Amino acid sequence: MPPLPKSAWPEPEALLPLKSVDTLILTMLAAGERHGYGIRQDILSHSDGKIELEAGNLYRHMRRLESKGLIEEAPQRRDADADERRIYHRLTPFGHRVLAAEVLRLRALVRLAVSRQIIAPGRA
């Protein structure tokens, strides 16, 4: 499925809530261009090894994010040590806006949990 043209992008809030895996992938790409294995390793590291995505599952999520215009394939790297088989992806400006909207939604949920004494207030 080809990505949506920019003129067809909905408001970011229309795509919320995001699936947890999608939020993790977008968050890892917010740091810069990554290839699939690198994203997988970043998620493993971030989750202290608790979230281990199988390659097929990761790439299925990435294809869906790409079809929605949230991520895109980055230009081919020209680094001397770059592996030409690796396909790098990056967050699109629209993907950044959707991720920001999701993080704001999650922050509001955490504030609600604090106000209802589900969790104690703390530092981020």
Q: pLDDT (tens digit, 9 = 90+) per residue, 34-64?
A: 999 999 999 999 999 999 999 999 999 999 9
Q: What is the mean pLDDT of residues 96-108?
A: 98
Mean pLDDT, rounded, of the chain: 91
Band (pLDDT 50/70/90 cuts) for residue 8 is: confident
CA-to-CA separations, 61 to 36, 43, 83, 94, 117, in angstroms, rounded = 11, 14, 23, 17, 34
Q: What is the mean pLDDT of residues 111-117?
A: 95
Given this model, what pLDDT does residue 78 score? 64
Q: Under a CB-based contact definition with an 8 Å cutoff, are residues 33 and 18 in contact?
A: no
Q: What is the mean pLDDT of residues 72-91?
A: 81
Query: And the tokens for 111?
Result: 């504030």
Residue with more model confidence, 75 or 67: 67
Parse the chain into domains and list their residue ranges.
Answer: 18-115
Domain 18-115, classified CATH 3.90.105.10, yes or no: no
The angle, 0 to 180 degrees and rounded to 10, between the axes of the packed helices 20-29 and 93-115 is 120
Given this model, what pLDDT does residue 86 score? 87
pLDDT over threshold 80, residue 95 = yes
DSSP of 21-38: HHHHHHHHHTTS-EEHHH
